[in-house]
């Protein structure tokens, strides 16, 4: 449904772009003609991804930590030097783990909140200032389908994602006059190596989660990547301040982590350790 050159001469920055959902979105955008700026903490992984995508000429890799506001500012400057402007930003960098909140360490809490909430704000502010000067752009924030409801055992992520959701809606109003659109995607369980290892440590949890999804399957990275392409494109030019769920109807059924808390409080004892 997308034209091959949909994003020709447009530059999209993706945080957490070296693996998982970030890599899937980068692949789709590249195939539609975009220039890519991939941000991640590991240069080796970013370079490997750029090589696998097969178009290093159109890809700039920036190894940096989104929790470092000054580093983010310098990195976005390099992106503008390379491609001239930034047309889109995908705030995808994240982290998560299962842990009973009474065992949660301050460092564990801060590690997630600083990446998801603070990192998103630092990138949004840096790119947003640029977009204000260049006539607008699109910012897309990747959340989770529990951003509005909350979720047991993943408190740092739930708190941070809720903050990003409010950031999305607030700036959609504040920056609308600058022709800047902000939207969010809230995926349900989508198998990627990092997420599955952290959140599905046992087949029992996976089976229980699947049983709560009306479509009876997990999402696929490509499905979310295609939704991201739509929301970044001019086809969605009148959509702003929205959070689009892509979870097979799970959020209409229930939340798997809350089910664990209510129905199976002892299930995770072997897996949950202080973080």
Q: Which residues pair with 89 in a beta bridge?
A: 13, 139
CA gyration radius, the chain: 18
- pLDDT category at 275 given cuts 50, 70, 90 is very low
Phi-psi region of 153 (alpha: psi -120 to 50; beta: other; left: phi over 0): left
Is 155 a residue whose pLDDT tops 50? Answer: yes
Mention every residue, 6+ apart, whose C-beta is less than 8 A from residue 233: 2, 6, 7
146 labelled catalytic: yes
Domain ranges for the chain, please list them. 11-263
Could you tell me the pTM of the whole model? 0.90
Q: Which pLDDT belongs to residue 194?
A: 74
Residue 271 corresponds to which tokens in the numbers above? 């897996």
Q: Is CATH 3.40.50.300 correct for 11-263?
A: no
Per-residue confidence band for 73, with pLDDT thresholds at 50, 70 and 90: very high
Choose the catalytic residue: 146, 153, 230, 238: 146
Residue 149 has pLDDT above 50, yes or no: yes
Tokens of 144: 């989770």
Cα distance between residue 85 and residue 157, in whole Å: 31
Q: Is residue 237's pLDDT more than 50? A: yes
């Amino acid at each position: 449904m997308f034209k091959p050159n949909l994003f020709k001469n447009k530059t999209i920055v993706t945080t957490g772009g070296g693996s998982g959902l970030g890599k899937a979105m980068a692949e789709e955008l590249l195939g539609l003609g975009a220039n890519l700026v991939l941000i991640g903490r590991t240069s080796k992984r970013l370079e490997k991804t750029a090589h696998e995508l097969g178009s290093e000429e159109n890809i700039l890799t920036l190894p940096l930590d989104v929790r470092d506001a000054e580093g983010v500012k310098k990195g976005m400057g390099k992106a503008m030097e390379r491609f001239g402007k930034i047309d889109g930003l995908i705030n995808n960098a994240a982290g998560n783990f299962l842990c009973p909140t009474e065992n949660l360490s301050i460092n564990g809490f801060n590690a997630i909140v600083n990446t998801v909430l603070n990192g998103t704000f630092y990138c949004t502010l840096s790119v947003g200032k640029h977009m204000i000067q260049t006539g607008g752009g699109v910012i897309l924030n990747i959340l989770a389908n529990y951003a509005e409801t909350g979720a047991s055992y993943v408190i740092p992520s739930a708190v941070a994602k809720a903050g990003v959701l409010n950031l999305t809606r607030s700036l959609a109003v504040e920056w609308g006059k600058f022709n800047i659109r902000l939207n969010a995607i809230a995926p349900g369980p989508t198998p990627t190596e990092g997420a599955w290892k952290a959140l599905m440590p046992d087949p029992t949890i996976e089976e229980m989660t699947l049983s709560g999804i009306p479509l009876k399957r997990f999402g696929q990275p490509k499905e979310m990547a295609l939704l991201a392409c739509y929301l970044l494109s001019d086809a969605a030019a009148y959509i702003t301040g929205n959070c689009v769920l892509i979870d097979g109807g799970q959020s209409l059924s229930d939340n798997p982590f809350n089910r664990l808390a209510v129905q199976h409080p002892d299930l995770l004892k072997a897996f949950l350790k202080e973080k």
